[in-house]
Amino acid sequence: MGGAAAADGMSATCWFFGLELHVSQQVPIGLIHSSYGGSAVEDWMSAEVLGDGGSATACPGAVTSSMGLPTQQYNGQIRPLLNTTIKGVVWYQGESNAGQDALYSCRFGQMMADWRARWHAGTGGGTDSNFPFGLVQIGPHQASTPGRGSDSGSNATFAIRMGQTDDFGYAPNSAWPRTFMATAFDLANPVGTKCFAGCVHIFNKQAVGHRLAVAARRSVYAEDVVGAGPVVLSALPSNDTHQTVTIRYELGGSKGIQLRGGYGFEVCYLPLNASQSWPCPDSSWVNATIIGSSADTVVVTSQHGPPPGSGNIIAGVRYGFDDMPSIFYGTGPAVFNQEGLPAAPGIWPADQLITS
């Protein structure tokens, strides 16, 4: 880019991402910026793949109403580029589809497959038919105040954050192996800024760009770098009372986890022989406390649950169920690695290994 004037209108996240790749790979990095504020995933899908949302379509469900129109951005901003050879795509969208989980996963997965096939064909095979998709797991955007209260929008935001990963909570995963992810859920804006709450715009675009870049450097360019925060491998209750849970993390090359506080964990309780099975109902979740840790584990319990011997046991663990965790309000998420990358939100039954 030829200075500030040439960068006017460019995505800052995209620019910082490209800059780090340029420095690390020592090659020119070309960036194409296509975006439309307030758009839904449906706006970026071809009409052939999206359909009308009816039962005969691949992903039946209501077509999201957004500030754009279904297929409009695909036709206007993606289709004209299909004869341009590309290395990959970075996708930063999701707020307009808040509240969706499985439906978003389905449509985003269909969109990725469609774009890959069309770009491969449009460039005569010049673009990899399975090119990588980077994605940003959305940051705070609904809450009027920090925390998990009724006005926080946490249910809707947690749903879309999980939908962005096909419910794995991380990417790449076995469903989407050619993806990489940067989570932005911890990047709340400072108190007193004009876009502090109820706002989709994260000021710290450099952090988002860096997280995308290290993820791409590991998964796309095969560098020996730590590309993501800790990923949960298992959530196993204590064998005796089932009143504590040990969460074990895969570190991805990091030397260990780093706790930056105690906020973010919840557990749910169910009767030992309850007819209600996983997932736990919303009313059963209570805040959890970290009572121990090691290089790759965190141990949690709760002072808010039923007492030992009551017949109730911890049945699940949840982390990051908060639209706007914020270090500026003392609710910054707890788990990072030593490279400063955060563990992403997730939910796990407390009785088994987590399959990747």
What's the CA gap between 29 and 15, in Å, rounded?
10
Residue 356 pLDDT = 42
| Spatial CA neighbour of 63 closest among 43, 34, 36, 37 | 43
Q: Is 340 exposed, middle or buried (CB count within 10 Å of its CB: 0-12, 13-18, 19+)? A: middle
Contact 78, 112 (CB under 8 A): no
Residue 216 pLDDT = 98
Burial 160-169 (b: 16+ CB within 10 A, else e): bbbbbbbebb
Residue 151 pLDDT = 45
Is the sign of the CA dihedral 246, 252, 256, 259 positive or negative? Answer: negative
Tokens, residue 220 = 């796309």
Residue ranges of the alpha helices (H) in 181-234?
205-219
Q: What's 75's DSSP letter? A: I
| Spatial CA neighbour of 160 closest among 232, 92, 102, 231 | 102
| Spatial CA neighbour of 342 closest among 350, 330, 332 | 332
**pLDDT values of the chain reduced to their tens digit, one per residue, 356 residues:** 556 666 678 999 999 999 999 999 999 999 999 999 999 999 999 999 999 999 889 999 999 999 999 999 999 999 999 999 999 999 999 999 999 999 999 999 999 999 999 999 999 999 999 999 999 999 988 665 666 544 457 889 999 999 999 999 999 999 999 999 999 999 998 887 877 666 788 899 999 999 999 999 999 999 999 999 999 999 998 876 678 999 999 999 999 999 999 999 999 988 877 656 778 888 889 999 999 999 999 999 998 877 666 778 888 999 999 998 989 888 999 999 999 999 999 999 987 655 44
Residue 145 pLDDT = 62
Residue 194 pLDDT = 73
Residue ranges of the alpha helices (H) in the chain?
4-7, 12-25, 47-50, 72-73, 102-122, 154-163, 205-219
Residue 143 pLDDT = 62
What's the CA gap between 213 and 228, in Å, rounded?
10
Contact 274, 281 (CB under 8 A): no
Maximum separation of any 2 CA atoms in the chain, in Å: 69
